[in-house]
Amino acid sequence: MASRQTYDQEVVFIHRQKKNVTHTKLQKQAVRVWVPLQITELKTRTVFMYLFLSNGGERVEPITVSLPLSDDMSCDVMDYTCEALFQDGKDEKERIRLMMQHSGVKNFSVDVDHIPPSTYTVTGLNPSSFENDKHPFTDQSRDTKLDQETSSIEKGLQKLVLSSKPEKQRTEHPEKVQKKGTPCSSLVFLKDIDTNGISLFSTMNSEMTFPFQLCPITDYELVVFRGKETKKCCFRVQAVAQCLFKSYMTQVEIDELHKRAVGHTLSTAVLPSFYPVKYLYRNKPLLHFLHIFTNTKGIMFKYIKNFGGDPASTLNRKLHGLFFSANVDPKTGDPPPVSYYGDQRIHIPVSFMITPDTNLYFADFYCHNIKHKVTLVVTLKGSKADEFCSARLKSLNQSYNEFLYRSPDSTDAMVNTRVTVEVFYTESIDIGKLLESRIAYFTTVQSEGNPFLKTLLGRPKREGCKTCNLK
């Protein structure tokens, strides 16, 4: 694979009429992007950020950096080095590790909270080590209106305003106002790993929401620099954070995934093989069910969905429910004799779970080895889970669809055995009453693997499969 084209960028450091010229390698970009330069003052181990706009071609004019030196820093401009972040192919985790090792920069943790389908908020921008950094005009948390005044981003990132515009001081005697230092803020760098495009944001809040919709099913890298702006476009770094995340599928991608799942079941010369099922079943260890009867009065409470299946599933860590399986052997009609989730299997009538009062949705299509799996979601009509799914998933006809359907006048359902059908039921179930009424029953099966680890983390889909991966 050929290396990416680079060009030599001249950087001129200016301080008190003294100049120092250095060079750094930058990757050519197809579009105009903001490029961050890391500037390190060697004696005091202070890290600055300098931002400039690159058109991706051979630059005729040099980048001129006027360094705002404070009293605790060296006045010798020769003691500075510069480096382009994200441009030379180095591993960003290694960059941050070296930055922390060779400078006074600390680290902290941030997270990206997702509100499906397309809202992403960076949280944790104010770490505990900066709790004493009060805003100079108010000790209260800043509201959304004020946050909009502290940063400005134009379309195409043609402009980035880092300077804060705080509220006016409410005082009758301005001369009596105590002078305070520059407030801390955060520079947020969002990198699209597929295109290497970088978007920059500035905020003084503890969180910020991206002002545009991210590309679905895309890997993003987030790097946050916490510190103070000492001069326009110059930023003194005090701490750094980093995280990776994947953006989620929208209904457009869910619809495409559904088409692939349907096409997969029709890929052979014969029609899909449907088989009648009377029960949906759930496998768990014996201790799991003993806990239910001892501590929750026989109620099997729903829990939040893990990261199993497609990593870009909009259900991950957002919707609560209980997983059941409709998987049967196409020759015998019986469930598999081996379970990877525990040695106890509870069987609950499909007529109890899929009723005229429920809705059915297609949610996921994935595989781990050879046989593909389909995830369907069952919700009570009008519930919060139903509202969640109706805006994000594909609605299916409960009386007939390509995977699992049940006629209202039948106690059985028909399941497509060409795929493994999983059902995510979004309500808690009183299995004590069902067992007492002999509506549900238990069987013991052979167990393999670690059921607790599978339930806690979930197993992501196989990345190399071209059948069920949209990207």
Residue 192 tokens read as 């699209």
Which pLDDT does position 127 carry in this prediction? 65
Q: 325 is written with which tokens?
A: 């399986």
**Helix (H) / strand (E) containing 359:** strand 358-367
Q: What is the pLDDT of residue 140?
A: 31
pLDDT category at 134 given cuts 50, 70, 90 is: very low
In a 3-state reduction of DSSP, which class is residue 190?
A: strand
Strand, helix or coil at 391?
A: coil
Check pLDDT > 90 for residue 451: no
Identify the CA nearest to 434 among candidates 284, 292, 291, 276: 292
H-assigned helices in 232-367: 251-265, 286-295, 350-353
Amino acid at 207: E
pLDDT, tens only, 187-218 = 888 888 887 777 878 888 899 999 888 889 99
Residue span(s) of the chain under CATH 2.60.40.10 come to: 6-167+178-246
SS3 category, 306: coil
Cβ count within 10 A of residue 253: 19
Beta strand pairing call for 404-405 and 299-300: unpaired
Distances (CA, A) of 268 to 44, 115, 264, 265, 326: 69, 39, 8, 7, 22
Specify the CATH architecture of the domain 6-167+178-246: Sandwich (2.60)
Q: What are phi and psi of 339, to 5 degrees?
A: -125, 140
Task: Report how far apart, in Å, the C-alpha atoms of 61 and of each of 56, 108, 159, 222, 265 are.
Answer: 13, 37, 19, 30, 60
Mean of pLDDT over the chain: 79
Among 7, 65, 74, residue whose Cα is nearest residue 38: 65
pLDDT of residue 290: 95
Strands (E), 177-290: 185-192, 198-203, 207-209, 219-231, 234-246, 274-277, 279-284
The pLDDT value given to residue 355: 96
pLDDT band per the 50, 70, 90 thresholds, residue 21: confident
Would you state the pLDDT for residue 137?
A: 24
* CB-based contacts of 426, cutoff 8 Å, min separation 6: 302, 319, 320, 321, 377, 378, 379, 380, 383, 385, 386, 389
- Quote the tokens at residue 161: 């305003």
33-88 per-position pLDDT tens digit: 667 778 887 777 778 877 776 665 655 577 877 766 555 567 677 777 777 766 55
